[in-house]
Amino acid sequence: MEIEFKILTLNCWGIPLVSKDVQPRMRSIAQHLVESDYDMVCLQEVWTVSDYNLIRDAVVSSYPYSHYFYSGVIGSGVCVFSKYLLEDVFFHQWPLNGYIHKFQHGDWFAGKGIAMCRVLVKGFSINVYTSHLLAEYNRMCDEYETHRMLQAFDTAQFIQLTSTAADFTVLAGDLNTEPGDLPHRLLMSMTGFTDAFNKADKDAQEPCYTNDGPDNTYTASALLNKKYPGKRIDYILYNSGSNTSVVMKKYCRPLPNRVPNCTFSYSDHEAITATFKISRKEGSIQNLNLSTRAKVLTECIDNCNLALQTLINHKRLYWFLTAALFLLFISTIAMDTPFHQPVLIHVIRVIITILIFFTFIMATAWNMIEKHALLAGKLAMEVCLKQSPEKGI
């Protein structure tokens, strides 16, 4: 017995009030789905329920089963559409998701995590995972590298623990990490995933970017002027079960550079799709490269240690700022009314009080939350490292 399974993933870039041409792009994405023949569709950055409903209502005849994964303050932005009944769905939110005071980034408010759904296709149990890791806002000085690394580790553990009975496992989404980056190496070494891109023929691999590409209308002009080639951060990764054999038949970017009869692209990311042939075979044991895994885990543990030391420095800084602001507040009590404006001194005191509250929370509750999340990830990595004979590396 064998089946074919076709999956698509796309970051839709649906940020309210920020993203451009959201409504026409969402309608165009829905139209493409109706005209195509995917078994499962994984979308990210569908940030509003109205956009999800727009797509769902348009594709319901082709994809009767769908699910939006609610999380955080504004929602995870992740949703799936399926031809097959969703047997199980689950969302695991990561403990580290950026910072609450970084309003301009917004990742914390999304409550990002890893979404899972299970479908049965002609007797084959298939686990589909989709996710959207913490964004990389500055590659030269990435303040979220450790957060993203722990998200990748958490994702790998979650997939390992929930996919043991699956005949086929696939992770499709925007992982916000390029091949060779530490989070990418960690995820691949922990799971033994195969990257569909690497199994594609040469024509399908060109162009290889999925974001900030030179042919995308939403790529920043500064990058175009530098002739930036784009980056590959969207993936379809897969594994076969112990009693199945999987062959990747086709990998491609199914969407044109422009929406038909329009001057804009479908998103600032490129959609990718892969078709797999899944068949039964005698049981076998998957072999992981334990040496590579041990080296990557050691590097990640060192990264956690550095992050923990940075947290200690941040705690000291915020305590110092709290004390300094408190002394400043005390000094305003004896201060004469400046410029004969009594309201001004009250405004200053209110501002200082807010700042004291912020620095106090950052020095105490928030510092401990991040510290405990880092320690939890580090200790789990150490457990994994002890399983490897190369743990001394």
Q: What is the pLDDT along the chain (393 residues), one digit of tens a residue?
A: 899 999 999 999 999 989 999 999 999 999 999 999 999 999 999 999 999 999 999 999 999 999 999 998 888 999 999 999 999 999 999 998 888 888 788 888 888 999 999 999 999 999 999 999 998 888 888 888 999 999 999 999 999 999 999 999 999 999 999 999 999 999 999 999 999 999 998 777 778 899 999 999 999 999 999 999 999 999 999 999 888 999 999 999 999 999 999 999 999 999 999 999 999 886 555 666 778 888 888 888 998 999 899 989 999 999 999 999 999 888 877 666 666 667 777 888 899 999 999 999 989 988 888 898 888 888 888 888 877 655 443
Amino acid sitting at position 331: S
- Which of 217, 247, 280 terminates a domain? The answer is 280
Supply the pLDDT for residue 373. Answer: 85
Domain boundary among 212, 246, 280: 280
| Residue where one domain finishes, among candidates 280, 314, 333 | 280
What whole-number distance in Å separates Cα of residue 220 and Cα of residue 228?
A: 10
**Structurally, how many domains does the chain consist of?**
2
d(CA 306, CA 34) in angstroms, rounded, equals 49
Q: Are residues 334 and 212 in the same domain?
A: no
Q: Is residue 285 part of a domain?
A: no
Given the residues 269, 314, 340, 372, select the one marked as catalytic: 269
Q: Does residue 263 belong to any structural domain of this protein?
A: yes
- Both 227 and 351 in a single domain? no
Cα–Cα distance for residue pair 108/97, rounded to 1 Å: 5
Handedness of CA 51, 54, 58, 61 (dihedral sign): positive
Residue 185 is classified by DSSP as H
Please report the pLDDT score of residue 195 as a whole number. Answer: 95
Biggest distance spanned by C-alpha atoms of the chain: 88
Examine the residue annotation and report whether 67 is marked as an active-site residue of this protein.
Answer: no
- For residues 168 and 159, is the Cβ–Cβ distance under 8 A? no
Selection from 259, 272, 217 nearest residue 27 by Cα: 259
Residue 391 lies inside a defined structural domain of this protein: no
Residue 393 in any domain: the answer is no
Burial of 57 (0-12, 13-18, 19+ CB in 10 A): exposed
DSSP classification of residue 231: B
pTM: 0.86
Domain hosting residue 381, numbered range: 290-386
CA distance 251 to 199: 8
pLDDT at 392: 44
Residues 87 and 189 in one domain: yes
Specify if 158 maps to a domain.
Answer: yes
Closest C-alpha to 348, from 331, 370, 371, 323:
331
pLDDT of 295: 87
Residue carrying the six token digits 């699956």: 166
- Same domain? For 247 and 145 the reply is yes
CA distance 375 to 367: 12
Which pLDDT value is given to residue 248? 93
